Amino acid sequence: MASSKNVPTTLDDVKIHVRFKLSALWASVMFCYIYADYFGLHVPGKLAAMMQGKMGPLGQVTQGILVGTSVMLAVPSVMIFLSLALQPNVNRWLNIVLGVIYTLIILATLPGSWAFYLFYGTVEIVLTTLVVWYAWRWAKHQSAG
């Protein structure tokens, strides 16, 4: 009986298209947003401020603030789908631009934050930077001509 001790093995792998990577990155960003906001509810005084209609540094909550915040959070959610559905050139540039914008938004929210939020913010920055990196490096092919 032959021994398989010395036989090298490799794990099966498939090439994952950049569209799926971008979609997965945006989904990961959204999970981090959700968990960071959920844990943020446990910060002392946060719920009391919410009950008084206050929203962090934005102050008194208005419909406009809630609509603006909703739009800001809907964009990464929609990018999960759009990263799979859009034409390559539009897809690439939209991911680059939005990845940069959302990296900057996260950076702007970090100063003075609690440690858990700094952790999530760091993860979110890595994820949105990877969005930009993968979109920037999206492989091109030559057209037959």
- Regarding pTM above 0.85, the answer is yes
pLDDT of residue 100: 98
pLDDT of residue 57: 76
pLDDT of residue 13: 87
Listed as ranges, residues in the chain with pLDDT below 50 are none
Task: Evaluate whether residue 9 is within a structural domain.
Answer: no
Task: Evaluate whether residue 49 is within a structural domain.
Answer: no
Task: Evaluate whether residue 92 is within a structural domain.
Answer: yes
Task: Evaluate whether residue 90 is within a structural domain.
Answer: yes
For residue 73, the enclosing domain spans: 18-38+55-136
Count: domains in the chain: 1
DSSP assignment of 59-107 equals -B--HHHHHHHHHHHHHHHHHHHHHHHS-HHHHHHHHHHHHHHHHHHHH
